Amino acid sequence: MQRSANCALLAGSVLAKGMLPSLTQQATYRVGFAQTESDNPWRVAQTASMKDEAKRLGFDLSYTDAQGSTAKQVADVRSLIAKRVDVLFLSPREDKALAPVVKEARDAGIPVILLDRTINAQYAVPGRDYLTFIGSDFVKEGGRVATWLVNNARGKKLNIIELEGTVGATPTIDRKRGFDWVLAQYPPHKIVVSQSADFSRDKGRQLTELLLEKYPEANVIYAHNDEMAIGAVAAIEAAGKKPGKDIMVLSIDGGKEAVKLVLDGKINYVVECNPRFGPEAFKTLQGYAKGKSYGDKIVNQDRDYTPQTAKAGLSSAY
Ligand code: GYE
C-alpha cells in the first residue's frame, strides 16, 4: 500500500497524485456513500446498515442514490468529491465505468473504500487507487450454488436457465464464472441459455416467461440474486408449473422473502450475500486512520439456506 504522507495538507496537490491519500485521526468524519439504487430489499438493508452505524458513531453521512444509472453514479461521486468528504464509500454499479471517478477522488485526497461490488484491477488498483474492497467472494457464491445443484439433481439431466445480474457488475461476472466453472465438470448437465435481467424482480419475471417458452426442456433457474429468482417463481407459476419441483430455482442474497420461499419449497437453495456492511465499513475507516494496513479485499463470510436450514436462519435473514 502506497500512502501519501500528511494528506490533509497535500490534498489535491501534485504530490498526492497517484497515491493512496492518508486519513488523519479525528473524533468525527464527513463520509460519503454512493449507492447504486434503492429499489430492492438488499439495497435498502445495506443503506440502513450504513446509516445506522454512522449515526451510532456520530459521523456525518452524505448519501447519494444513483437510481440504477451508472451515469448518475459517476455524477454522484463527483458531487461528493466537490463536498470534500473525508472518506468515500462506493458500491460501483459497474466496474470499468466507475474507475475514473475513483481516481478523481484519490487525486482530490479522498480515500475510497469499495463496498459490495469491486472494480477489476485492470481498471483500478487496490492499495493505490482505492484502499480496499469489502464484500463477498462472488466466484465462490456461484460455485456453491452449482455444487449444491449437482448434488441434488436426483438423476435428472439439468437444463439450466441462468438469469444474470447487471451487465458489467463484478458480482455478475464472478457469479457466472464460479457457477459455470463447477458445472462444466458435471456433464451432461448444461446451461441452455444465460441472459441478463439486471438484478431486477420484474425483468426476472419477464425474461423467465420468455425463456420458458423458448426452452421447454429447461428444468432449473439459476438467478444471480433473490429479486430475479422471486420474479422467476411468479413466471413459473403463471406458466402453470410448480417452482421448486417442476423447475428448480436457486439464487444468491438470502433476504427474508427468498428464505420464506425456501421454506415453502418454491426456491430450492440460496447462498447468502450479507448486505449489513455498516460495522465493517466504519471499522475499516477508523483502522486506516490509526495507520492500519489493508490487503486487496476484506471477504464477508456468508451462510446458505437449504430446505433443512431455512427455518433456523429465517429470523436473522435481512
Ligand atoms: O446480490 C444484488 C444487488 O452487489 C452484491 O447487488 C451486490 C448485489 C446483490 O443488487 O441483489
Verdict on whether the full-model pTM lies above 0.75: yes
Which of 36, 225, 256 has most ligand 1 atoms within 8 Å of its beta carbon, as the pocket-test mutant?
A: 225
Concatenating the DSSP letter of every residue in 61-83 gives EEEEE-TT-HHHHHHHHHHHHHT
Tell me what pLDDT residue 84 has: 97
Domains of the chain: 14-135+275-301 (3.40.50.2300), 138-273 (3.40.50.2300)
Tell me what pLDDT residue 2 has: 57
Question: What residues are in contact with ligand 1 under a 6 Å CB criterion?
Answer: 40, 42, 116-117, 171, 199, 225, 227, 252-253, 273
Contact 257, 40 (CB under 8 A): no
Tell me what pLDDT residue 137 has: 97
Tell me what pLDDT residue 17 has: 57
The span from the CA of 228 to the CA of 224, in Å, is: 7
Concatenating the DSSP letter of every residue in 220-247 gives EEEESSHHHHHHHHHHHHHTT--BTTTB
Stretches where the chain sits below pLDDT 70 are 1-18
Concatenating the DSSP letter of every residue in 242-300 gives -BTTTBEEEEEE--HHHHHHHHTTSS-EEEE-----HHHHHHHHHHHHTT----SEEEP
